[in-house]
Structures are given as C-alpha cells and as structure tokens.
Structure 1
C-alpha cells in the first residue's frame, strides 16, 4: 500500500512540475538525433540526422516551432540533405505527451527539392525543472517521390523550457 501511495505522489509531483513548463509565453530550445537505422524509407540504408528547434508558446499547451535539420545517408542513391521548416505542437496532457505537425522544405545536393509535411507523437520526460528528454515517433510525407523518400522513424531529443 505504501508503495502505491509513493508512486501516486511521485506521478502527481511530475505532473505538477511539467504543467508549469507548457504555459503561454514560455520559450523552447531543443535538438534531436534521428536515423541511426531507426527509420525506414524506400531507399533503406544507414542514415544519421541532427535537428535543431526553437519555439514559443502562443497559448498554454500550444507551441509554435522553427526547425533546421541535416540528414546523412551512406546509401549511394540517397543524397545528403538539409531542411528548414515550421511546425506546431500541442501538449495533450500536462505531464508531457504531445502531438506535432510540421512542414519542411528539403534540399538535397543533386538538385532535389521537396516539400515534406510531417506528423509526430512523443513525450517530454522532465529530468529537471526545465530540461527534458523527448523520444518521439515521426512520419514525413514526400510529395515528390513518396515511395523512396517518405519516412517513418524514431527521434531522440533534448528540450529546454525557459
């Protein structure tokens, strides 16, 4: 019985700590790693990506994001690419569960340009009052070449809520 009460109190504490971070006018800065063979597309091969994000809470639980990313693939037919985009995140539960939608302009080095909307679902695990570890699952849809470049993957990020 004591163990259950302790777990309930700990969960309540984490929920209360997290809720203050998703308030209007807070700032978000984050980065993430993608790939590491944890994604899939039609040209499956080794891939590694890094992403930087910055955002602002327009209202409680609503985060507007800007992002820039670099993706490297070791596969000869898949070029490295950079992307720039914007997105929106909604924190469903005050303890960190979020849904995200974004749209990115992708430019690859062999004159390949694409507009790729994406969806993401993840969780912000608070390791301190302002720092989170944010695992998420994402899907990016390629309009130009769906079979080869649309991607499903896992992302591991770190976020700071100021």
Structure 2
C-alpha cells in the first residue's frame, strides 16, 4: 500500500512539474539526432542527420518553431542536404505529449530542391525543470517524388525550455 501511494505521489509530482513548462512566453532551444537507419524512404543509403530548433510559446501549450538541419545521405543522386523550416507544436496534455506540424525547404547539391510538409508525434520527457529528452515519430511528404523522398522516421532530441523567471 505504501509503495502504491509513493508511486502515485511521484507521478503527480512529475505531472505538476511538467505542467509549468508549457506556459506562454517561454523560449525553447532543441537539437535532434535523426537517421542512423531510423528512417526509411525508397531512395536512401546510409543516412545521418542533425537538427537544431528554436521556439517560443505563443500561448499556453502552443509553440512556434524555426528549424535548420543537415543530413548526410549515402545516395549519390541526392547526397548531403540542408533543410530550413518553420513549424509548430501543440502540447496535448500537460505531461509532455505533443503533436507537431511543419514545412521544410530542402536543398542539396546537383540542383535538388524540395518542399516537404510534415507531421510528428512526440513526448517531452523532463529530466529536470528545464531539460527534456524528446523522442518523436515523424512523416515528411515530398512534393518532388513521393515514392523516393517521402520519409517516415524516428528522432531523439534534447530540448531546453528557457524561463523568464
């Protein structure tokens, strides 16, 4: 009985501490590691990517994001590419579960350009008051060639929620 009560109290504390993080006016800095064969599309070989994000909570539970990423791709036709994008997150419940939408412009050598809208579902797991580990599942839809470049994958990131306190 004591274990159940202690476990319930710990869960309540985690939920309460997380709920304070998604209030209007907070800043956000994040970085993600993608690839390492954790994504799939019809045209890639070895794939590795790094993504940097910056954001701001416009309202409670609603974040606007800007992002930049670099991806190394083993396919000679596409090769390495850079991405610039904007997006948003909505924190569904106060414990950190979120839905995200974005639009990315991708540029690679060999005159490859693509616009890719995407969606993601993730979780902001708080390590302490402001630092999170953020696993997410994502899907990016290619306008250039759906079967070769649309991507479904998994990414793991670290986020830092900046406070104005």
TM over 0.5: yes
Q: Provide Cα deviations, 1:28-76, integer angstroms capped at 9, x if missing partner.
A: 0000000000000011321000000000000000000000001101233
Gaps of 5+ in 2: none
Counterpart position of 2:2:
2
Q: Which whole-Å CA distance do the structure 2 matches of 1:60 and 1:131 have between them?
A: 18
Residue pair 1:39, 1:152 contacting (<8 A) in 2 also: yes
Alpha carbons 1:43, 1:77 under 8 Å: kept? no
| Cα drift, residue 157 of structure 1 | 0.2
Deviation at 1:115, TM superposition (A): 0.5
- Answering whether residue 20 of structure 2 is matched by residue 20 of structure 1, we say yes
**Cα deviations across residues 108-154 of structure 1 (Å, max 9, x unaligned)?**
11101111000000000100100000000000000111111100000
Say whether the 8 Å CA contact 1:29–1:54 is kept in structure 2.
yes
Corresponding residue for 1:50? 50
**What is the number of equivalent residue pairs in this alignment?**
162
Q: How far has the Cα of 1:3 moved from its partner?
A: 1.7
- 1:6, CA displacement in angstroms? 1.4
Report which stretch shifted further, 70-79 or 102-111.
70-79
Which structure 1 residue ranges, 5 or more long, are not aligned? none
Match of 1:101 in 2: 101
Structure 1 length as normaliser, TM-score? Answer: 0.97
CA RMSD of aligned residues (A): 0.8
Once residues 116 and 106 of structure 1 are traced to their aligned partners in structure 2, the CA distance between those partners, rounded to angstroms, is 8
The farther-off stretch of 15-24 and 3-12 is 3-12
Structure 1's consecutive aligned runs of 4 or more residues displaced over 3 angstroms after TM superposition are none
What is the deviation of 1:7? 1.5
Shift of 1:100: 0.1
Match of 1:151 in 2: 151
Partner residue of 2:135? 135
Matched-pair contact (CA < 8 Å) for 1:41–1:149? yes
TM-score by length of 2: 0.96
